[in-house]
């Protein structure tokens, strides 16, 4: 009889412990599930920069600026330089950057570059961004945008990982950091201030 009682107590302990662990995991997931996309948008900022001091406009960025490979794509008259900064350490998947022009019917696209790259932003380190701007003297109001996906955390990340593990029948990518990346979701946009140059 004592053996049965001891087994019952172990089973009760194991079940109670399992329920407690699951409860803690669920509570933690609700804490993590706060809207990460809006937090990311609040942390990001786009600021206009004057082109570098070199005569041909091809200056070397300072050490606290991550260079943009579009720096040489446009002539100095065609391009505008911006810095994207963040008030917290975040990673975003940048789908596209571009320029919109204000028209009588609203904002219309002027130029767009598909980026499809991950930007890891840290406070105090700016990300350089070059775009094709409207002609100087055209007297148009324009602004710059970045379309991006925010890095996933908490339950949405777990759901994506479980779905992927089920699809490929493997847990090899359980961390979500495969190939140096992460998992990103959402269609978010940040805009610069309006410009009229």
pLDDT at 127 over 50: yes
- Is the model more confident about 26 or about 69? 69
Largest alpha-carbon pair distance within the chain? 95
Q: What average pLDDT does the segment 74-99 reach?
A: 91
Task: Identify any residues that bridge with 82 across adjacent strands, giving them in sequence order.
Answer: 48, 129
Element (H, E) at 46: strand 44-49
Please write the tens of the pLDDT for every residue from 11-65: 777 777 777 777 776 666 555 554 455 556 678 999 998 765 443 444 545 678 8
Mean pLDDT of the chain: 78
The overall pTM is greater than 0.85: no
List Cα–Cα distances, 84 to 8, 122, 154, in angstroms.
61, 10, 26
Please provide residue 90's backbone torsions phi and psi, each rounded to the nearest 5 degrees: -145, 165
Are 77 and 136 contacting, i.e. CB atoms less than 8 angstroms apart? yes
pLDDT tens digits along 153-187? 778 777 777 777 778 777 665 555 544 457 788 88
Question: What 3-state DSSP class applies to 53?
Answer: coil
């Amino acid at each position: 009889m004592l053996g049965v009682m001891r087994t019952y107590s172990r089973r009760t302990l194991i079940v109670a412990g399992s329920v407690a662990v699951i409860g803690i995991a669920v509570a933690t997931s609700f804490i993590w599930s706060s809207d990460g996309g809006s937090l990311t948008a609040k942390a990001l900022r786009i600021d206009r920069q004057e082109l570098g001091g070199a005569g041909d406009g091809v200056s070397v960025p300072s050490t606290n600026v991550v260079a943009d490979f579009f720096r040489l794509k446009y002539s100095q008259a065609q391009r505008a330089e911006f810095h994207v900064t963040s008030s917290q350490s975040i990673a975003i998947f940048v789908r596209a950057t571009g320029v919109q022009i204000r028209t009588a019917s609203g904002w219309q696209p002027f130029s767009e570059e598909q980026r499809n790259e991950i930007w890891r932003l840290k406070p105090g380190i700016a990300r350089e961004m070059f775009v094709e701007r409207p002609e100087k003297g055209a007297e148009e109001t324009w602004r710059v945008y970045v379309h991006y996906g925010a890095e996933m955390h908490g339950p949405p990340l777990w759901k994506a990982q479980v779905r992927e593990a089920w699809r490929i029948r493997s847990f090899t990518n359980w961390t979500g950091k495969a190939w140096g990346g992460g998992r990103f979701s959402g269609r978010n946009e940040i805009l610069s201030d309006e410009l009229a140059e």
